[in-house]
Chains A and B, each alone.
Chain A
């Protein structure tokens, strides 16, 4: 029995025509599974990812430590998996925050128009034209205590996680906002929106129930591509010591000490970077494939 061809079903069938996108999806699913199952693996191997063992520093790969140990004698494989949890979590949630902020601002900007549109779009232009990383560094260096946050909150392990999600969302929304604004502008004068107006529906209902669903495809593509970019930014900031703070591992901060140890333990510098690279390229290829599958006209130029 054939199921009726829904829009999602059609898109899925078209996506399967892009082997790189399908491969990326499989890799990401596998990586997600591994990362989620990290505590399970930890129990199975009877190891503790956070256990420091100074007598067993920089051990080579072996039957107990499958990928060897790091500069503090911790199991490298488990730290990579735990770091992956953090990096993927930050990537997904910051990209989602970016999408939500961008979608709301883009909708309002395109729908309301006039002064509001002017202000939002000028802000977006300004943000896009700034040197992003130097700005992120200044944002990341802000002292939480001076923001009026209690001492305990600023020093807690999860704070650096929330902070990096927040600062990426603050600077990341303009791209999504422009995209959604463009869709909104092209739909604003269409009949179904006029009818909704005539039926007396409120602007919020029209924006979110009638216009936003039509922007779902480009939004999904933009969010997928954003996840890759966020993971890159997180890794750079963590590497520079301004993102996720140790002892919480992330792929970025695991590379932090690797530069000094490069002569002794080059593999320590290879693994986390390789995982970032594979994850980011998978998200980018998936986004590209999704774009081609969801919007065949716009993607006619790309293979």
Chain B
């Protein structure tokens, strides 16, 4: 297990490194460069100044040297400043990562709380009208454009009914309840797709498990159906579901980007989007890497959870797959 973990950590480090290089190159390919932007802001700058500034910031160096210089600084904990906000990027990103994780965690919890009972309900009555209704809702949930769903929610709850704020995160000094009101619509948006996805997984996993021999054995022994479902079936059915939920953190980040942008929620997704749109290379780069790091760590957690939940699995020799 330890060797497996180390191998996975190593792999993740390689992915992160490759990602940092790819992103560095891609950001260099975005319109304009920082000196041009400074130039645009100050008409008195001369071309000598530009050359001097480019040399000062190392922009006249080859790409690979600039990347390596960036990497050395990054490894030393120096991630530079955000151009838009004039603050060290880590100080910008830390609270926003917290905001994103809060939004994601609440949405995830709600999604699981709905998906598990709904999936079990459907799995125990395959083909019934309630199964088909749940199935159709799941298809709707994964097919609805998330930003459009957000628009409809804003239209209904903020514009027509006036019950909930259309965006923002509340103000300093607001109570917990007031803060919660700002969370309702973003959480609804983000959890909709997750509920749909997880319900389908719970359902198919439960149907699979209910066909197993040990379920028949348990029933033959006279175990009450309620116990068969809860103790015997659900525990085994949840194994793949937990893995899928943990593997889905990347998808959750994608959803969070849309949700945060729609509702003005100051999280990682909105920050990355604003940074890309505002030519804030440093912020975009570190933000994207931080999101990647969290996703990779969640994937490793998924593997650990998988091994922990299913004692049959050992990671001594890992097969490809």
Chain A interface (Cβ < 8 Å from any Cβ of B): 20, 117-118, 121-122, 126, 128-135, 137-139, 141-143, 145-147, 228, 232, 235-236, 239-241, 252, 255, 258-259, 262-263, 266, 269-270, 272-273, 276-277, 280-281, 284-285, 288, 301-303
A/B interface sample: 27 pairs, CB < 8 A:
A121-B320, A128-B250, A129-B250, A129-B299, A130-B19, A130-B292, A131-B291, A133-B254, A134-B253, A134-B269, A138-B30, A138-B276, A141-B277, A142-B30, A143-B31, A235-B145, A235-B147, A236-B146, A259-B151, A270-B152, A272-B148, A277-B143, A280-B145, A301-B203, A302-B135, A303-B126, A303-B135
Q: Does B111 contact A (CB under 8 A)?
A: no
Q: Are A126 and B18 in contact (CB under 8 A)?
A: yes
Shortest Cβ gap from B172 to chain A (Å): 26
User: How many angstroms from the CA of A281 to the CA of B127 in the assembled complex?
Assistant: 20
Contact at B139–A281, with CB atoms within 8 Å? yes
Q: Is the CB of B288 within 8 A of A134?
A: yes
Q: Among the listed stretches B21-29, B67-75, B216-224, which one makes contact with chain A, having 4 or more residues with CB under 8 Å of it?
A: B21-29
Residue numbers in B under 8 Å from A138 (CB-CB): 23, 26-27, 30, 276, 284, 288
Q: Do the beta carbons of A139 and B26 come within 8 Å of each other? A: yes
A232 cross-chain contacts in B, Cβ below 8 A = 143, 145
Inter-chain CA distance A171–B174, complex, in Å, is 42
Among the listed B139, B257, B296, which residue makes an inter-chain contact with A134, where contact means beta carbons less than 8 Å apart? B257
Known: A228-B143, A273-B148. 8 other contacts (CB 8 A): A117-B320, A130-B15, A130-B19, A131-B253, A134-B269, A141-B30, A141-B31, A303-B135
**Is B247's beta carbon under 8 Å from chain A?**
yes
Q: Are B155 and A262 in contact (CB under 8 A)?
A: yes
Give bound CA distance, A126 to B12, whole Å: 8
Contact with A along B128-159 (1 / 0, CB 8 A): 00011001100110111111100110110001
Main secondary structure of the interface of B (DSSP, over half): helix
Contacts of B159 in A (CB 8 A): 262-263, 266
**Residue among A262, A280, A301 with max Cβ neighbours from chain B (10 Å):** A301
Which secondary structure dominates chain A's binding surface?
Answer: helix
Specify which of B32, B147, B276, B284 is in contact with A255 (CB 8 Å cutoff): B147
Given contacts A117-B320, A239-B147, A255-B147, contact A134 B291 (CB under 8 A): yes
| Min distance, Cβ A123 to any Cβ of chain B, angstroms | 9
CB pair B250–A131 under 8 Å, yes or no, is: yes
Q: Once the chains bind, are B295 and A281 in contact (CB under 8 Å)?
A: no
User: How close is B236's CB to chain A, nearest CB, in angstroms?
Assistant: 15
With CB as the reference atom, state the residue of chain A lying closest to B131.
Answer: A303
- Least Cβ–Cβ distance between A262 and chain B, in angstroms: 6
Q: What CA separation (Å) do A263 and B159 show in the bound complex?
A: 7
A143 to B32, CA, bound (A): 8
A135 and B288 CA atoms in complex are apart in Å by: 7
Chain A residues contacting B189 (CB-CB under 8 Å) are none
**Contact present for B288 and A255 (CB under 8 Å):** no
A residues near B287, Cβ cutoff 8 Å = 134
**A273 proximity list for chain B (CB < 8 A):** 145, 148, 151-152
Residue of B nearest to A259 (CB): B151
